[in-house]
Structure 1
Amino acid sequence: MKRQKRDRMERAHQRGYQAGIAGRSKEMCPYQTINQRSQWLGGWREAIGDRVLLA
């Protein structure tokens, strides 16, 4: 069970990162549960930071 939860959280983080790199707004987060939403936003923030460094 723990592995499935971790995989879901990792997937949410990766999808948030991809959204951030693509320049999407953080309001476009598709997740409703607090844990997945938090992971998505964490990935999104990381990508925004990376975009600033790459520019």
Structure 2
Amino acid sequence: MRRQKRDMNSRAFDKGYQAGVTGRSQDDCPHENDAHRQSWISGWREGRCDQWDGLTGISGFHKIRAV
């Protein structure tokens, strides 16, 4: 748990991916820090691509990293 909290870029990417897969807007990014914002947007883009490719629900489960 502590390692996850320390690596904010990885966590931002994961949260952005989840937002992209669920269809949320890119404007919903909660980060002000440029590095974290860039990681979140990169995750969001990958999540949107996966959503467009049909990897939603159980078919995209393998893309979500287990903690």
TM above 0.5, yes or no, is: yes
Deviations 1:14-43 (A, max 9, x none): 000000111100000000000000000000
Residue 38 (1) aligns with residue 38 (2): yes
Q: Structure 1 stretches of 5 or more lacking a match?
A: none
Q: Structure 2 stretches of 5 or more lacking a match?
A: 56-67
Give structure 1 regions of 4+ aligned residues with deviation exceeding 4 angstroms.
Answer: none
Aligned residues: 51
CA–CA distance in structure 2, aligned partners of residues 11 and 54 of structure 1: 24
Looking at secondary structure, tell me which structure has more helix per residue. Answer: 1
Output the TM-score relative to the length of structure 2.
Answer: 0.71
CA–CA distance in structure 2, aligned partners of residues 42 and 21 of structure 1: 12
Give the number of the structure with larger relative contact order, counting CA–CA contacts within 8 Å between residues 6 or more apart: 1
Q: Which residue of 1 aligns with 2:19?
A: 19
RMSD: 1.4
Output the TM-score relative to the length of structure 1.
Answer: 0.86
The one-letter code of the counterpart of 2:51 is R
